[in-house]
Chains A and B, each alone.
Chain A
């Protein structure tokens, strides 16, 4: 007897929505990678292989601006979170091509370095793990001002060796001053080329939360249902108790570290292939329909890239904008030491 849709706690519609967004994220990342090889961009780094964890996360975020909503302190493998939150493919393609229309950095930062003030997505840093030191700051404001907004911070297993991870655990858990932070570790088994087993005695890094009195869990980040469940439970706890929770997701890294390692497909578990298998077995997704989803997003990405190729790069004089914020929020003035621009 074939398994039925009743095998999942998730509604069929949501199961398909997860699939749709996972494919959209994957197609986006594969497009970005192809752009490094077609001369449409320089450096790629991203998160293909993390969709089964990051799409549920993006859907569960309380999206909005200000402390009443969730803050996200993300690392550069978080594209599926943003896609699930509603980010447009074309905007990542713009950042990859470094055009002036890049809404996240105006052509200044690497791809997958988001900044979306309207959604509380704070600027993603190219240097790892620093976001763990900042997360307690937004969480402190959220705790003080009430409501159910939480702070979500993610990073990798390798980066968790930096002291900022310990900073986050400590500052989030001081007695009587606990902070509503979801502390995530996306464990992809590598730091660039060095296996995690060469970097850590500990392979479940969420165990580091224990001596801080922080609740923790470990989840299979290749399983969107398990991820949905684990994230829902962790977030419900944080929203209600206003205390931290540490969750490790074991994920795949399907195209290596970045374009510095060739960005070639590697043989690891593929969460989308697995999910398509499950959905097919449940009678929810035919092979044809799955193909149509892939095709829909490939067409969207192709059209977006064609459009972005026509968009201008930032003009040279743009380097002087936003050096400083002005009181009225307008374009920052230039020449920070002298009030004059340095030409040439």
Chain B
């Protein structure tokens, strides 16, 4: 089974060969390195840029203005802050020109914590980027979804931000990418660049097939009845494990992996809430003006009368950074024990009478 980095590489290869991708570029994206997470090794159109994030986004916008399809990488999402007005401009080019210019561009940038990244390699950016209209925002949690979302992103005529979670890039999935060899060692031999001298190396690409995850479609990854858990990215597998753990206590959960954050699958969330009448959103971005608050507000707007417990958000601590020490990191962003506690608390809170006022909001325990 491919890991997520390999899945991204396979999708980009498919994009180069079949979908008209003309340029895959960014800092250390071309040979010899092929990306600090190896996502771009061996790609025909990959090239290295200066260390200049504004230049990278500007280059992508310029290429896209010609109708060509670029895929740019910002090495870590933590480096994108100096380029935020270019994100704004990419997002408003179509609207501001009343449809005269479209920008069919993809920007990939790995997000989130979990790699001992401390202050500047642990950021989450979905709350900020969801404030930049005109973009679509995708975050996979499995290699197959990464493959299918990236292909959809490349085919989309709009700017799309593709946000693989850093900590999941080396994680293997349990589903084969169409065309991928069954033996992971074989895939490794075919497409992973060797250590040391790579000047003579060329990848042997498997004949991967098209597979698309529709933008805007969540995936129900666990089914249950006691509460709905909406999550994405690093915390999607964590919430699944938490749901599995709580089965022993007789509690069951719908776990929705959102996959597409902008636009998002409100109907899937409402279908689930209609069944469970309780909702928890779990992410690791800082808590104040958190993207998850928007999800909850939409649920309150649409399903207020159905909720039998206060809707809750488990998010990152509102502190300026994530500390290097593991004790600090795990106190800053949700970890599995804290997710389990939050899910249990929500599922077992006394029900209010539906249609009345909400009970006192739950005070969630912190993360560890």
A residues apposed to B, CB below 8 Å: 66-67, 71, 73, 102, 104-106, 108-109, 113, 115-117, 122-123, 125, 127, 130, 132-142, 144, 151, 163-164, 167, 170-171, 174, 321-327, 329, 331-332, 335-340
Contact = CB atoms under 8 A, between A and B. Distances in A.
B58 A133 contact: yes
A144 B63 CA distance: 11
Interface in B192-228: 216
Contacts of B86: 130, 133
Contacts of A141: 22, 62-63, 66, 68
Contact of B96 (A66, A108, A138, A139): A108
B130 A337 contact: yes
A336 to B, nearest CB: 6
Contact of A332 (B62, B68, B94): B94
B305 interface: no
Nearest first, the 4 closest Cβ-Cβ pairs linking A and B are A137-B62, A133-B58, A106-B98, A115-B97
Which of the four size classes fits the interface of chain B?
Answer: 35 or more
Interface in B40-80: 49-50, 52, 54-55, 57-68, 70
B64 A323 contact: no
24 contacts: A66-B66, A66-B67, A105-B96, A109-B96, A115-B98, A122-B101, A130-B85, A134-B59, A136-B59, A137-B58, A137-B62, A137-B70, A140-B59, A151-B62, A164-B58, A167-B58, A321-B98, A322-B99, A323-B133, A324-B94, A325-B94, A325-B102, A337-B262, A337-B263
B34 to A, nearest CB: 19
A133 B55 contact: yes
Contacts of A337: 130, 262-264, 266, 294, 298
B292 interface: no
B97 A104 contact: yes
A109 to B, nearest CB: 6
A140 B98 contact: no
Given A133-B86, A134-B58, A108 B264 contact: no
Contacts of A108: 95-96, 98
Contacts of A340: 266
B157 interface: yes
A122 B130 CA distance: 25
A105 B98 contact: yes
Nearest to B70: A137
Given A137-B63, A324-B134, 7 more contacts: A102-B98, A104-B100, A130-B85, A151-B62, A170-B55, A325-B104, A338-B264
B176 interface: no
B99 A137 contact: no
A322 B93 CA distance: 9
A123 B61 contact: no
B158 interface: yes
B59 A170 contact: no
Contact of B133 (A151, A336, A338): A336
Contacts of B52: 167, 170-171
B351 interface: no
Contacts of A335: 263
